[in-house]
Copies of this chain bind each other. A is one copy, B any other.
Amino acid sequence: MGIVDLNAADGDTAAAGAVCAELWHACAGAGVALPRRGSAVVYLPQAHLAAGGSGDLPPVPAHVVCRVVDVQLCVSVGLLPAVQPLLLVIFAFSSAGILTRCGVFVQADVATDEVYARLALVAEGGLSAASNVCQMFGKGTNEIKTQGNNHEMEDTDGENKPQTPHMFCKTLTASDTSTHGGFSVPRRAAEDCFPPLDYEQLRPSQELIAKDLHGMAWSFRHIYRGQPRRHLLTTGWSSFINKKKLALGDAVLFLRGNDGELRLGVRRAVQLKNEALLQAVSSTDSKLRMLSAVRSSLDDRSIFHVCFNPRSSGLISDVSEVDPIRWPGSKWRCLVIQWDGHTNCNHKNRVSPWEIERIGGTVSVTHCLSSSSKRTKLCFPESDLDTSCIDGNGHLDSMATESFNRVLQGQELMRSRTNGVSCPHSPDIPKFQTSGRRRFSAEMRNGLFNDAEAGLRHRNSTESPYQPLGFSESVRFSEVLQGQEISRVVPLYHGNTSDACTHNDRVGSSAYVHRPAATRGYSLPQFTPSAADVCSPSSVFMFNQTMVPQPEFEGTINLKYAYGSRCAPLEQMQRKTEDRPFFQHQMSCQTERNQFDVAVSLPQMWVSLDQLAGKLGEALAGFSDFP
């Protein structure tokens, strides 16, 4: 397990270490901001207890302020890091003393080369009942911010980043992963990241050596050939693909550091989570252990660890009082986590008034997946998160769309579990109910896409995918792209699928995100063999299918509206190109979702301070400590 000591280099120090940290962040993807050592976070026990059954619990306050005593950037090597598999909601205090971001911490994945961060925490005590929660989450948090340099969250937005080296990220195509050939390197990527070739030669070639996060060196033959000429990695590539178990939809990153060394990372499209792990995550046993650790830390300031896997994330889908008996004095409402693509989320039926009142309305599902429907995500023309998610015309904005899609996924899972019926696409899908989920995006607050130029660049990208952008922006973007565009079906678990797809080929000035324009086939993943591999050797892909209504959900939403977009530039682009395979791919992707194993990569839950403070304020106002 490779570990990059984030603390040793509080920013950037040694060349090699800095590059590794940079590669780590590149692999982790967008917006993986980690709390700094010495910063304070708040652990909310109820939040994670609500995500599963509860048992007899050790006495733990409803809110535990923890000090981050260590942060390690790690890479898995096929073994689970031996940390407890508990989800953990952590709110970090910003330098202004306010709640800014929320991450869900969960056991890292078993796949090799998974990046995750391991945080060492020490509980510093529960929040006292005397302190008003608004003060606590707003200001007045001086007493818990007395030590350490409160940089709060390590920032990947680029402002305090070292000069970004040349890098690119490419989603692997069927050809890239096929045994038939090698890896097709985007021209500009090769020119920017690889040593120059002597183009005078007939077939210029060279040997490339790239090191991954483990420091392992990989050798590739880089050749410039073909008609027209193109850059290819041939010899050594298939070995890399096999060793890393890369498949269609996964992404590789090449990064040329300032020291000239080439580095190589992978970012997988999906996680292979099996039910055993999921059960473990929500097991009462695990929770007890977690709470016991927190309890111990409160008692004697012992250190406990949590792991954060950038790809294991979910939504704060619900806020409601869960166990007023157990937590009698607390007005805090539990945050219900809706895990991406997971089934073991309790309280599915629970309604969050906080959400429902925002999404609300009744709309039909008609046309939700028709080929002419236009939809997008991740185009955030509105920087004002505090405005309603439904505009004057009743259209959901992109965020609401996204959260809506997530609800659908949850429904699918339930349906498949209960009756196993796969419902083909029908124009008259009955209405269904939902407890709309919300995702708050710091990106929106940051206004990254709050200019017409963003849309313009985006539109241009369909013709020329390489447009200058800042490093962190592109990386953040790539994270979202990787996860949301590509679905992979794992055998045995069949089911109709649905996901929101996004296209946004924005790239930085020296950092590229490359994804295939059309993806026609899906290869089977070659991960650790499991029962599924053998019992069901064939995979089933279902297109043009849609969701099945679930009576458990309340509130109905029209997918037509949900998929409607307020992003004018994107809509224009879509109209221009909607008959092209690219968007056919989007649609396919949209309807494909494995019911268990395909997860959308959501790097982190970004919690808007305004949202949380504004909407949870009253719920928090009267909270008190656990007796």
Contact = CB atoms under 8 A, between A and B. Distances in A.
Interface of A: 1-2, 55-58, 77-85, 107, 110, 112, 120, 214-218, 243-245, 274-277, 279-281, 283-286, 288-293, 295-296, 299-305, 527-531, 533-535
Contacts of A120: 285
A289 B276 contact: no
B300 A216 contact: no
Contacts of A528: 77-79, 112, 528
A171 to B, nearest CB: 22
Contacts of A533: 243
A274 B79 contact: yes
**Chain B CB within 10 Å, residue with most, of A81, A107, A285:** A285
Given A293-B288, A296-B292, A277 B107 contact: no
Contact of A276 (B57, B77, B284): B77
B85 A529 contact: no
A567 to B, nearest CB: 40
Contacts of A244: 529
Number of copies: 2
A56 B301 contact: yes
Nearest to A78: B528
A300 B1 contact: no
Contacts of A535: 215-217
Contacts of A55: 302-303
Most B-side CB within 10 Å, residue of A218, A284, A286: A286
Nearest to A292: B292
Nearest to A56: B300
B283 A529 contact: no
A447 to B, nearest CB: 40
Given A56-B302, A289-B293, A218 B77 contact: no
8 tightest A-B contacts by CB?
A82-B280, A292-B292, A78-B528, A56-B300, A1-B276, A82-B85, A214-B531, A243-B529
Nearest to A213: B531
15 contacts: A1-B275, A1-B276, A56-B296, A58-B299, A82-B279, A82-B281, A112-B530, A214-B531, A216-B534, A217-B534, A285-B293, A288-B302, A288-B304, A289-B290, A289-B293
A297 to B, nearest CB: 8
B284 A531 contact: no
Nearest to A527: B78
Given A289-B292, A533-B243, A110 B80 contact: yes
Contacts of A57: 300
Contacts of A300: 56-58
A15 B164 CA distance: 64
